[in-house]
Amino acid sequence: MDRFFAILSDGVHRFEGTVNQYTGDGIMALFGAPIAHEDHAPRACYAALHLTEELRRYADELRRTRGLNFVVRIGLNSGEVVVGKIGDDLRMDYTAQGHTVGLAARMEQVAEPGRVYLAEDTATLVSGFFRLRDLGPFDIKGTRETVKVFELQGLGALRTRLDVSRARGFSKFVGRATPFLARSYFESKST
Protein backbone atom coordinates (compact mmCIF):
# COMPACT_ATOMS: atom_id res chain seq x y z
CA MET A 1 0.00 0.00 0.00
CA ASP A 2 2.91 2.37 0.65
CA ARG A 3 3.98 2.24 -2.99
CA PHE A 4 0.37 2.64 -4.11
CA PHE A 5 -0.05 5.80 -2.03
CA ALA A 6 3.34 7.10 -3.18
CA ILE A 7 2.27 6.72 -6.83
CA LEU A 8 -1.00 8.52 -6.12
CA SER A 9 0.68 11.37 -4.21
CA ASP A 10 3.40 11.83 -6.82
CA GLY A 11 0.84 11.96 -9.62
CA VAL A 12 -1.28 14.57 -7.83
CA HIS A 13 1.72 16.71 -6.84
CA ARG A 14 3.13 16.55 -10.38
CA PHE A 15 0.16 18.66 -11.53
CA GLU A 16 0.20 20.91 -8.44
CA GLY A 17 -2.74 19.29 -6.71
CA THR A 18 -3.01 18.73 -2.97
CA VAL A 19 -3.63 15.37 -1.33
CA ASN A 20 -5.83 16.33 1.56
CA GLN A 21 -7.09 12.95 2.71
CA TYR A 22 -5.89 9.37 2.72
CA THR A 23 -8.76 6.91 2.88
CA GLY A 24 -8.36 3.22 3.52
CA ASP A 25 -7.88 2.37 -0.14
CA GLY A 26 -7.49 5.71 -1.90
CA ILE A 27 -7.04 9.43 -1.60
CA MET A 28 -8.97 12.65 -1.97
CA ALA A 29 -7.11 15.33 -3.88
CA LEU A 30 -7.87 18.98 -4.55
CA PHE A 31 -6.89 21.03 -7.59
CA GLY A 32 -7.31 24.77 -7.23
CA ALA A 33 -7.10 24.84 -3.41
CA PRO A 34 -5.17 25.86 -1.37
CA ILE A 35 -3.17 26.99 -4.42
CA ALA A 36 -5.60 28.70 -6.80
CA HIS A 37 -5.29 27.62 -10.43
CA GLU A 38 -7.51 28.93 -13.18
CA ASP A 39 -6.95 25.62 -15.00
CA HIS A 40 -7.77 23.34 -12.06
CA ALA A 41 -10.02 21.02 -14.10
CA PRO A 42 -7.47 20.30 -16.86
CA ARG A 43 -4.80 19.74 -14.19
CA ALA A 44 -7.05 17.18 -12.50
CA CYS A 45 -7.63 15.44 -15.86
CA TYR A 46 -3.91 15.38 -16.68
CA ALA A 47 -3.25 13.90 -13.24
CA ALA A 48 -6.00 11.29 -13.73
CA LEU A 49 -4.59 10.18 -17.09
CA HIS A 50 -1.06 10.05 -15.67
CA LEU A 51 -2.22 8.05 -12.65
CA THR A 52 -4.21 5.64 -14.79
CA GLU A 53 -1.07 4.78 -16.75
CA GLU A 54 1.25 4.61 -13.72
CA LEU A 55 -1.18 2.44 -11.76
CA ARG A 56 -1.66 0.13 -14.75
CA ARG A 57 2.12 -0.42 -14.81
CA TYR A 58 2.16 -1.07 -11.06
CA ALA A 59 -0.77 -3.51 -11.35
CA ASP A 60 1.10 -5.39 -14.11
CA GLU A 61 4.17 -5.60 -11.87
CA LEU A 62 2.14 -6.91 -8.92
CA ARG A 63 0.45 -9.49 -11.15
CA ARG A 64 3.85 -10.76 -12.40
CA THR A 65 5.74 -10.71 -9.11
CA ARG A 66 3.09 -11.49 -6.49
CA GLY A 67 0.09 -12.82 -8.36
CA LEU A 68 -2.10 -9.94 -7.13
CA ASN A 69 -4.73 -8.14 -9.18
CA PHE A 70 -6.07 -4.68 -8.51
CA VAL A 71 -7.76 -1.89 -10.42
CA VAL A 72 -8.44 1.72 -9.61
CA ARG A 73 -11.41 3.98 -10.33
CA ILE A 74 -11.16 7.77 -10.45
CA GLY A 75 -13.97 10.31 -10.15
CA LEU A 76 -13.75 14.05 -10.85
CA ASN A 77 -16.10 16.95 -10.26
CA SER A 78 -15.70 20.73 -10.31
CA GLY A 79 -17.54 23.41 -8.44
CA GLU A 80 -17.68 25.49 -5.34
CA VAL A 81 -16.47 24.01 -2.06
CA VAL A 82 -15.82 25.25 1.43
CA VAL A 83 -12.13 24.79 2.22
CA GLY A 84 -10.20 25.41 5.39
CA LYS A 85 -8.54 23.99 8.44
CA ILE A 86 -10.66 22.02 10.84
CA GLY A 87 -9.64 20.59 14.18
CA ASP A 88 -8.04 21.77 17.37
CA ASP A 89 -4.56 22.32 18.81
CA LEU A 90 -3.80 18.58 18.87
CA ARG A 91 -4.93 17.67 15.36
CA MET A 92 -5.55 19.96 12.40
CA ASP A 93 -6.62 19.00 8.86
CA TYR A 94 -7.07 21.03 5.70
CA THR A 95 -10.16 19.80 3.90
CA ALA A 96 -12.91 20.62 1.43
CA GLN A 97 -16.59 20.12 2.07
CA GLY A 98 -19.78 20.50 0.12
CA HIS A 99 -21.93 18.93 -2.57
CA THR A 100 -19.10 19.16 -5.12
CA VAL A 101 -16.90 16.91 -2.98
CA GLY A 102 -19.69 14.39 -2.51
CA LEU A 103 -20.43 14.25 -6.23
CA ALA A 104 -16.74 13.64 -7.01
CA ALA A 105 -16.83 10.68 -4.61
CA ARG A 106 -19.98 9.40 -6.33
CA MET A 107 -18.27 9.65 -9.73
CA GLU A 108 -15.53 7.38 -8.40
CA GLN A 109 -18.09 4.94 -7.01
CA VAL A 110 -20.02 4.60 -10.29
CA ALA A 111 -16.88 4.44 -12.47
CA GLU A 112 -16.00 1.13 -14.04
CA PRO A 113 -12.72 -0.35 -12.79
CA GLY A 114 -9.76 1.23 -14.59
CA ARG A 115 -11.83 4.21 -15.80
CA VAL A 116 -12.07 7.92 -15.01
CA TYR A 117 -15.56 9.43 -14.78
CA LEU A 118 -16.33 13.16 -14.80
CA ALA A 119 -19.46 15.00 -13.81
CA GLU A 120 -20.84 17.44 -16.38
CA ASP A 121 -19.37 20.52 -14.64
CA THR A 122 -15.84 19.20 -15.14
CA ALA A 123 -16.57 17.97 -18.66
CA THR A 124 -17.71 21.48 -19.62
CA LEU A 125 -14.43 22.99 -18.38
CA VAL A 126 -12.18 20.50 -20.21
CA SER A 127 -14.13 19.88 -23.41
CA GLY A 128 -11.79 20.08 -26.40
CA PHE A 129 -8.65 19.68 -24.31
CA PHE A 130 -9.53 16.01 -23.66
CA ARG A 131 -11.41 13.24 -25.45
CA LEU A 132 -14.61 12.54 -23.54
CA ARG A 133 -17.27 9.91 -24.02
CA ASP A 134 -20.78 10.96 -23.05
CA LEU A 135 -22.24 8.18 -20.90
CA GLY A 136 -25.58 9.91 -20.47
CA PRO A 137 -27.57 10.76 -17.35
CA PHE A 138 -27.04 8.74 -14.18
CA ASP A 139 -29.21 8.53 -11.08
CA ILE A 140 -26.71 9.46 -8.38
CA LYS A 141 -27.32 9.00 -4.69
CA GLY A 142 -27.61 12.36 -2.93
CA THR A 143 -28.79 14.31 -5.99
CA ARG A 144 -32.36 15.26 -6.88
CA GLU A 145 -31.80 15.29 -10.63
CA THR A 146 -29.87 12.97 -12.88
CA VAL A 147 -26.21 13.84 -13.46
CA LYS A 148 -24.67 13.73 -16.92
CA VAL A 149 -21.53 11.60 -16.72
CA PHE A 150 -18.55 11.47 -19.07
CA GLU A 151 -15.60 9.11 -19.36
CA LEU A 152 -12.15 10.67 -19.72
CA GLN A 153 -10.51 8.80 -22.60
CA GLY A 154 -7.36 10.74 -23.41
CA LEU A 155 -5.91 13.99 -24.66
CA GLY A 156 -7.91 16.03 -27.13
CA ALA A 157 -6.72 17.85 -30.23
CA LEU A 158 -6.84 21.32 -28.68
CA ARG A 159 -4.07 22.70 -26.45
CA THR A 160 -4.90 26.32 -25.61
CA ARG A 161 -7.98 28.34 -24.69
CA LEU A 162 -7.58 30.14 -28.01
CA ASP A 163 -7.81 26.78 -29.81
CA VAL A 164 -11.02 25.98 -27.89
CA SER A 165 -12.52 29.39 -28.69
CA ARG A 166 -11.60 29.03 -32.36
CA ALA A 167 -13.23 25.58 -32.52
CA ARG A 168 -16.37 26.85 -30.78
CA GLY A 169 -16.48 29.98 -32.96
CA PHE A 170 -15.31 33.45 -32.03
CA SER A 171 -17.77 36.11 -30.91
CA LYS A 172 -18.77 38.59 -33.58
CA PHE A 173 -17.72 42.21 -33.16
CA VAL A 174 -20.76 44.38 -32.59
CA GLY A 175 -21.11 48.07 -33.39
CA ARG A 176 -17.94 48.34 -35.43
CA ALA A 177 -17.85 50.00 -38.82
CA THR A 178 -15.32 49.35 -41.53
CA PRO A 179 -12.22 51.61 -41.30
CA PHE A 180 -13.33 53.63 -44.36
CA LEU A 181 -16.74 54.42 -42.85
CA ALA A 182 -15.19 55.29 -39.51
CA ARG A 183 -12.72 57.66 -41.15
CA SER A 184 -15.49 59.31 -43.17
CA TYR A 185 -17.54 59.76 -40.03
CA PHE A 186 -14.70 61.50 -38.20
CA GLU A 187 -13.86 63.63 -41.26
CA SER A 188 -17.41 64.86 -41.58
CA LYS A 189 -17.63 65.62 -37.84
CA SER A 190 -14.49 67.78 -37.92
CA THR A 191 -15.71 70.10 -40.73
- Per-domain residue ranges for the chain? 2-190
Q: Which CATH class is domain 2-190?
A: alpha beta
Mean pLDDT of 145-160: 90
* Phi and psi, residue 172, nearest 5°: -80, 145
Mean pLDDT of 117-133: 94
CA–CA distances in Å: residue 51 to residues 25, 75, 131: 15, 12, 17
pLDDT of residue 119: 96
Q: How far apart are CA 127 and CA 144, in angstroms?
A: 25
In tens, the pLDDT along 54-77 reads 999 999 999 999 999 988 999 999
> Residue 31 CA to chain centroid, in angstroms?
8
* Closest to 54 in 3D by CA, of 117, 10, 96, 23: 10
Of the pLDDT bands very low, low, confident and very high (cuts 50, 70, 90), residue 185 is low
In tens, the pLDDT along 6-25 reads 999 999 999 999 998 888 88
Task: Determine contact, residues 113/71, Cβ cutoff 8 Å.
Answer: yes
Q: Give the alpha-carbon dihedral of 126, 131, 116, 3, to 10 degrees.
A: -90
Mean pLDDT of 27-42: 90
Q: How far apart are CA 119 and CA 104, in angstroms?
A: 7
